[in-house]
Amino acid sequence: MTLVLLDLDGTLMDSAPGITTSVAHAFRTLGLPAPDDRALRSFVGPPITTSFPAHGVPPERLAEAIRVYREDFAATGMWDATVFAGVPAQLARLREAGCALVVATSKPEVFAVPIVERFGLAPLVDGVFGAPLDEQGTKADVIARALATLDRRAGDGPLLDGPVLMVGDREHDVVGAREHGIDCLGVRWGYAADGELEAAGAVAVVDDVADLAARALSLLGLGA
């Protein structure tokens, strides 16, 4: 089997509007100055548990900030998102080429699964793996659980006996994949800062959604 691991926020979906609105709501509710728009966009991708402290939330108020954020996100923010134009067609092309597709996201799985279902991506992927609700761990941990689960599904024979590729838009996608000896194809349409993906060691970076499947298949040795 050839496996493609797919990040969600910034790779398959433009999730920034809902995430940044809920983050700003949390800062305002706590009476703290909200980050500017550029800083708010940096919240998209990494665990919220690390992003809040990095932007001024004191340790003693972190649990409160996370609670307020999640309440607002669950009510409205998680649905304020769109699938990037062209993504479904690219996923369909990868499946037609024989790839298994699995979402591997740092977003808590309790949010990721209904989002994938609500926005019509569920029929195009073979599984959705996310972080626990407390968001403890790293992207590498999410990938590890996805790989282990797929192996268990194999039954008597190995399922993960072909090449594996990660596709993501942030440095933690690249680093998490590398911990498992997996190359990461970066995507330019997400939320990475200029040069972030290259500096992290992405094997390549694709600029346009329309080129995603062809570039992934080429890196997997399946041609264009």
| 89: Cα within 13 Å, side-chain hemisphere | 7
Dihedral, CA atoms, 94, 99, 100, 105, nearest 10 degrees?
-60
**Catalytic annotation present for 151:** no
User: How far is residue 22's CA from residue 216's CA, in Å, rounded to a whole number?
Assistant: 33
Tell me if the pTM is above 0.75: yes
Residue 191 and residue 173 in contact, taking contact as beta carbons nearer than 8 Å: no
Q: Which residues pair with 99 in a beta bridge?
A: 2
pLDDT, one tens digit per residue, over 74-87 is: 999 999 999 999 99
Please state, in angstroms and rounded to a whole number, the distance separating the CA atoms of residues 207 and 186: 9
Residue 153: pLDDT over 80: no
Which of 7, 14, 72, 169 is the catalytic position?
7
Sorted by sequence, the CB contacts under 8 Å of residue 54 that are 6+ apart come out as none
Report whether pLDDT(207) > 90.
Answer: yes
- Report CA dihedral (11, 13, 14, 19) to the nearest 10 degrees: -100
The closest of 48, 54, 65, 5 to 136, measured between CA atoms, is 48
Mean pLDDT, residues 124-151: 90
Q: Give the domains, in start order, of the chain with CATH numbers.
A: 2-14+82-219 (3.40.50.1000), 16-79 (1.10.150.240)
pLDDT at 68: 96
